[in-house]
Amino acid sequence: MQKSAMRRRGWPICTAIAFSALALGACSSAATTGSTSGSESVGTNSSSYRGGTAHLAASQRPSYLVYWDQNEEEDFVTSTGIQGVLLPPWDINGQLCVLPDDSGRFVGGYDPTVPSQHNPGGVFPYKQPPIGEELDLPDGAFSGQTLYVPGPFKLPGETIGGDSPPTASGNFNSNSTYTGCVFDRHGDLLASDIGTAQGQFPPPDDGRLVEWFGPNYSQSCIVMGPTQGGAGPHHVDGTGGLSQPGMLTLADNGDVLLPVAGTQQVLRLEASSLPTSPSQCPGGEYPANDLHTSVFFQGNGTTMPFPAGVAKDPTCDCIAISSFFGNPSIIWVDQQGTPVPGRTGVPGETIAQLGQDPNGFNPFGMAFAPDGTLYFVDIHITCKDNMLTNCGPANYGGRVMKVTFDNGVPSTPTVVASGFDFPTSVTLCIPAQEDCPYPVGHFSLPHSGPSENPSPAIGPPSDRPATAGFG
C-alpha cells in the first residue's frame, strides 16, 4: 500500500555483539531529545524506572489502557475514557509491546523522522542505526537503547550501522520497517519487518521476522527472511522471505501466529522450534530446517483476502483475524484455526468499495479488553481507480475503533479517536497484572488532523545521534 503524502513509510539476524552495560537515561517524558539525568542498567527489573501505572495510587489505576502508534507518537486511552500522549512525536512507527519484566518499559519499531515531514520530532537527534526497535521507559522517554540487526548502513554522524541500506534518495525505511511485535514465553522479542512493501500488489516477498534475546536484547537473529538476492548477507530487498508480515500474537500453547497478507495466510510457528539463544543462529540467521511452521488459517479472494492482524479474545478462548479489505473484515477462529460457530464477523469493505464510504474502515492491529470489548485500528485505505495499486492510508483518515458484543454479535464499530496519519496497531495492558506505561505529570491530548504536522520547529535538525545501540 502506498505511503500517505504525510508519511514516509509503507504499510506499514543472529550476529553476536559484544555487550557492555549501557546507561539508560531516566529522563521525563517531556525530555525527548536525548538528555539524561540518572541511570539504570539494561536488563534490570527495577521499581525506580519513572512513570508507568505503578506510580499511581491503586484507586487511580484504570482497569486497562489501550495504546496505538500514529505519526511518530504513541497515544493511549484508559478504560475510563481518558486520552493522552505517552510518547511525543519522535521516530516510533510500530506496535507497542510491554516488556515481560513488570518494569513498565516498552519497545516499538522506529525509523528516522526527517524535517520534511514537518513533524516536531524532525529536529531531534537521529536514533542509531536508522532502523530498528526502540526501548522506551514507562513514562514514554527514550531509554537510550535500540534493538537492531547490525550492518554497515548509517546516517551522517552515526557510529552504529544496520543491515538495511538506504534508497538512492537516502530513504532508509523503504527497505525495512518494523511493524508488529510480541514477546514469547521465554521473554524474547519477535518483530515483523515488512521489507519494501510500499504499495505494490501483490506485495514483495522480502519481509522478515526478527528475534532479539532477553533479558538484554543486545543480540538478534533473523528467524525468517529473504534467501537470495538483495543487499548484504541477509539479502535485504531480496526474495524468498515473507510477503508483507503483519501483527503477531501467541496461541494458548505459546506458538507464534503471524499473518502474511501476500499469501492470504496466518502462519503458526511452533514455539519449541524457535531459537532461544544467539548460538543457534550461525551467520546471522536461523537455519530454515530448524523452524517448524504450518498454515494456521488460509484465506482466499473472498474471506480474509489480505490478513494483517491477529489477537486473542479472552471471552471465547479464540483468535480474531483482521483483513485490510473483504467482508467480513474481522472473523473469529478457534485455537486450531477453524471458524467459531455463533461468532458473527465484523462487516468490511470489498475491493470495489475501498475509499467510497467515508465511514468505512480497514482494520489492521487489534486488541481485546478482559470483558471482550474489541479495539482496532482503521488504517483507512484509499486506492486509485478502485484497483489494488497505488493504495495507501487517507491523510488524517486513520481511527481507533471500538466494538462491543451481544451474544457474539458485534455492535457497529464506534470511533474512539480519529484524524490520524497511518496508525497501525493497538496494544492493551492491564495494571492489575503488570506495570503499564503511563506518563508522569501533565500530558497532552493525541495530535490529530493538521495539528499532527505543524510548521517545523525552528532550527536545523541535529545530526548528532541520540544515545543508542551498544557502542
Residues 338-365 have pLDDT tens digits of 999 989 999 998 877 777 777 889 999 9
Query: Do residues 133 and 99 make contact, with C-beta atoms less than 8 angstroms apart?
Result: no
Domains of the chain in start order, with CATH, are: 64-452 (2.120.10.30)
Q: Which pTM was predicted?
A: 0.89
Percent of the chain with pLDDT over 90: 66
With H, G, I as helix, E, B as strand and everything else as coil, classify residue 288. helix
Res. 152: pLDDT tops 70: yes
CA distance 118 to 247: 28
| Residue-wise pLDDT tens digits, 158-191 | 999 999 999 888 888 889 999 999 999 999 999 9
Contacts of 25 (CB under 8 A, 6+ apart): 34, 35, 36, 37, 38, 39, 141, 142, 143, 144, 467
Cβ atoms of 75 and 438 closer than 8 Å: no
Q: Of 309 and 40, which is predicted with more confidence?
A: 309
What confidence score (pLDDT) does residue 23 get? 23
Question: In Å, what is the CA distance from 90 to each residue of 29, 35, 73, 80?
Answer: 12, 14, 6, 27
Phi-psi domain of 28 (left: phi exceeds 0; alpha: psi -120 through 50; beta: other)? beta
DSSP string of 338-397? Answer: PBPTT-PPBP---GGGTTT-TT---EEEEEE-TT--EEEEE--EEEGGGSSSSEEEPTT-
